[in-house]
Amino acid sequence: MKKGEKQDYIAILDFGSQYTQLIARRVREAKVYSEIFPYYIEPSKLLENPPKGIILSGGPASVYADQAPICDTDIFQLNIPILGICYGAQLIAQTFGGKVSKASQAEYGRANIILNNDRDIFYGFPTTTTCWMSHQDLIENIPPDFKVIARSESTKAAAIVNEGRKIYGLQFHPEVTHTTLGKKVFENFLYKICNCQQNWNVYSYINQSINDIRNKVKKDRVVAGVSGGIDSLVAAILTNQAIGNQLYCIFINNGLLRKGEVEEVQKVFKDNFDINLIYIDASERFLEKLKDINDPERKRKILGEEFIRVFEEKAKSIGKVKYLLQGTLYPDVIESISQKGPSSTIKSHHNVGGLPKKMRLEVLEPLKYLFKDEVRKIAKKLRLPEEIIWRQPFPGPGLAIRIIGPVEKAKLNILREADEIIKQEIIDAGLYKKVWQSFGILLPVKSVGVMGDSRTYEFALVLRIVTSEDGMTADWAKIPYAVLEKISNRIINEVKGINRVVFDISSKPPATIEWE
């Protein structure tokens, strides 16, 4: 369903906001397809498949700065409804002759706004409502032909509109849950202003995806990297339904998998799928390449390079293979690609940024426009086993990026044992489906401890447990003390090499979920 073909969709221009992905999710939750584009996209490119509406995201820059990201002003002449959020609203104001300036005091957090009307984007709203502010600039002078439709105690233009052009600007963020009626803001924009049809759902994606794969691949062969995770499995099943035995699934043991994972993945395929699985043990090869490597980005690049080389070698024995299938998701694409201007690379994903520039295989990514929860819905429709559907996300580089510093066999064994205990206890506490991820990070730090009458000097392990909808943002999970205590006691008593466990209480942002 690339670029919203054959259905209504909303184009989101990304100016570097940490919330851009949330905007895309909120639109899809309203059953309208959305797709994110760089802010500098040419209007002619958009018109190849015209969206029903355009949303301008927030961003960290100031619109009056010399290097501020500015979209092509012809975007505003397309006669397509536009909604600007925070930076997007300020850009609208400046473009149409208003004035944006630095606020005397930045405004962050919840704020009450007073509405001047209950029409259009505020249809069905009360006179006052709570929203989330996050800005250091404000619209000082309203542009001609615009009017203020909401204000707050600190912001005289919390929302503006040009009704004739159907252009709206919101100083607040309707996409975050802290904005009480944020969902309704999007629904009003989509349904009342853009006249969108509610025709997006992940189930229609199944047939569309199968047809797209069949039309693209034709009679060529495809190799797929599978790991037992839901993303690669759903991608493989959809591809298998499209091209049958032209698909060859390859499971590479890179030596960085969790305890029992090699046996578990092979059993999952044997018990549930009529798809040939080729198993390759390349653990020694991968570990040798990682020897003495400290930098996390180098780890990812090395693993991505070696991953492709193993695939290309195996593909020769299969015959002429044209495509490499990957279970890349939308957040992987968004986080990995450093766009011109405001966006910066957070980290390379194994499925995206870790691939070498020169490779013989073309990449096939049928899930690259989906979020994790959407993939889970497809998995349920495809009747995948529950243990696969709810399996927690596991990074492509595996345990290599959960060992800070060089990767060694001894450290891998220590981390595997600790990781298994974390998994067992989270399952036993009934929390496995309630959290997004729960795992350990082995630090290159040793500390003094006492066991019995003996002094110990061993590694510290970080316990990382987060809640999230899609991995784009996350909060540290408020795990009961009794569960944390049991996990810590078991790891320290049962895993030789660890004598200290600490709990990470950082949220994303500003931290990331993984440490590397």
* Cβ atoms of 89 and 174 closer than 8 Å: no
* Cβ atoms of 307 and 225 closer than 8 Å: yes
Exactly one of 175, 187, 261, 425 is catalytic; name it.
175
Exactly one of 135, 173, 349, 350 is catalytic; name it.
173
Backbone angles phi, psi at 293, to 5 degrees: -90, 125
Candidates 166, 160, 152; CA nearest to 52 is: 166
Exactly one of 35, 71, 86, 458 is catalytic; name it.
86
Cβ neighbours of 67 (radius 10 Å):
9
Strand pairing partners for 225?
250
Give the HSE-up count for residue 58: Cα atoms under 13 Å, Cβ half-sphere.
Answer: 24
Candidates 52, 91, 101; CA nearest to 170 is: 91
Distance CA(411)–CA(459), nearest Å, equals 9
175 in active site: yes
Distance CA(111)–CA(124), nearest Å, equals 19
Distance (Å) of CA 449 to CA 16, 121, 454, 492: 45, 61, 8, 10
Which residues make Cβ contacts (< 8 Å) with residue 90, sequence separation at least 6?
Answer: 63, 84, 100, 137, 138, 139, 169, 171
* Cβ atoms of 336 and 349 closer than 8 Å: yes
140 in active site: no
Backbone angles phi, psi at 437, to 5 degrees: -145, 150
Structure tokens at 152: 């707050």
DSSP string over 182-226? HHHHHHIIIIIIS-------HHHHHHHHHHHHHHHHTT-EEEEE-
Q: Is 22 helix (H, G, I), strand (E, B) or coil?
A: helix
Which residues make Cβ contacts (< 8 Å) with residue 501, sequence separation at least 6?
Answer: 460, 461, 462, 463, 487, 488, 491, 492
Strand pairing partners for 359?
none
What torsion, rounded to 10 degrees, do the Cα atoms 478, 479, 480, 485 define?
Answer: -130
Residue with structure tokens 């049809």? Answer: 197
Sequence-ordered strand ranges (E) for 361-476: 362-364, 437-451, 454-467, 475-476
* Cβ atoms of 22 and 176 closer than 8 Å: yes
Distance CA(467)–CA(474), nearest Å, equals 6
Structure tokens at 222: 């495809």
Catalytic residue numbers read 86, 173, 175
